[in-house]
């Protein structure tokens, strides 16, 4: 898959969405991403009777990232039950920031942008290094 083949990535997200467990919200989400070494990884939301414990599709995706070899993400997109592109929630933007490669691109309803386009002035791993002992 080419690095910016968002049509294929959207299709992978749609297939992942079919695996969602979303009985409480009735809002299944699927996510798909490309890794630096060419893997396509996916995630779906997994809700819980204790509502606040529910996992967004991005949560299970970053779990898959680690379980399948780790590394960074170069491209990402997520979809709703209609297969339409949606934007990650605020918490999941932070999750993506942690694993975004330099060349990270995300397809949003308004087009393709970088991590800065969805999470400006992000707090990230480097901030933890910038305090004196
Ligand atoms: N959801 C995601 O999986 N990812 C997002 O970025 C937006 C929201 C899920 C959480 C919940 O299971 C359902 O969508 C409704 O908010």
Query: DSSP string covering the chain, please?
Result: --TT-HHHHHHHHHHHHTT-B-TTT----EEEEEETTS-EEEEE-B--SSGGG-B-HHHHHHHHHHHTT---EEEEEEE-TTS-EEPPPHHHHHHHHHHEEEEEEEEETTEEE-HHHHSTT---GGGGGSS--
Q: Check: pTM over 0.85? Answer yes or no.
A: yes
Question: Is-catalytic flag, 47?
Answer: no
Q: For residue 132, what pLDDT is reported?
A: 76
Q: For residue 130, what pLDDT is reported?
A: 77
- Does residue 81's CB lie within 6 angstroms of at least one atom of ligand 1? no
Residue recorded with tokens 């039950």? 81
- Does residue 58's CB lie within 6 angstroms of at least one atom of ligand 1? yes
Q: For residue 133, what pLDDT is reported?
A: 66
The rounded Å distance from CA 85 to ligand 1 centre is: 12
Walk along the chain (133 residues) and give the pLDDT tens digit of each residue. Answer: 445 699 999 999 999 999 999 999 999 999 999 999 999 999 999 999 999 999 999 999 999 999 999 999 999 999 999 999 999 999 999 999 999 999 999 999 999 999 999 999 999 999 999 787 6
- Candidate list 15, 36, 47, 58, residue with the active-site label: 58
């Amino acid at each position: 898959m080419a690095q910016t083949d968002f049509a294929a990535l959207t299709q992978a997200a749609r297939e992942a969405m079919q695996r969602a467990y979303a009985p409480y919200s009735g809002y299944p989400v699927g996510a798909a991403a490309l890794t630096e070494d060419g893997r396509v990884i996916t995630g779906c939301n997994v809700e819980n009777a204790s509502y606040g414990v529910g996992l967004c599709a991005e949560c299970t995706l970053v779990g898959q990232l680690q379980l399948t070899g780790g590394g960074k993400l170069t491209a990402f997109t997520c979809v709703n039950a209609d297969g339409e592109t949606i934007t990650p929630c605020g918490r999941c933007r932070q999750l993506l920031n942690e694993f975004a490669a330099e060349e990270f691109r995300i397809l949003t309803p308004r087009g393709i942008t970088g991590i800065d386009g969805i999470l400006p002035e992000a707090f990230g791993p480097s901030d933890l290094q910038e305090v004196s002992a």
